Amino acid sequence: MAKFITSIKLLEATERDYAKLSQELKKYFFNPAGRTGSGKSTESETSVIFNSSDNKSLLDTTTAVSRAAATTGRKYSFTVIREKTRPETK
């Protein structure tokens, strides 16, 4: 199975919403990797990036992210990208 990188954006969210999201995603073995934004500190333009620390399928990953984001009570959008792995050389 592959590991995935997930970028999540909550609409009209506060720091408390992002803290709750992070706490929920940790239950699904995701680790925060950073934030992206437009340089301004407006929360509506911020997305948070998480890396999966457990091998999962794409379906398991999207389900976990949807469940965690839904607990915030905010509208959300997210993208999931498969982490590239380098072939082992022998």
Say how many domains are in the chain. 1
- The answer as to whether 87 is a domain residue is no
Q: What pLDDT is stored for residue 39 in this prediction?
A: 47
Residue 69: both structure tokens together: 């984001």
Contacts of 4 (CB under 8 A, 6+ apart): 51, 52, 56, 58, 61, 80, 81, 82, 83
Give me the CATH number covering residue 40: 3.30.70.260
Write down how long the chain is: 90
- The answer as to whether 21 is a domain residue is yes
Cα 87 to Cα 6: distance, rounded to the nearest angstrom: 22
Q: What pLDDT is stored for residue 77 in this prediction?
A: 95
- The answer as to whether 45 is a domain residue is yes
In tens, the pLDDT along 16-56 reads 999 999 999 999 889 888 876 654 544 456 788 998 877 77
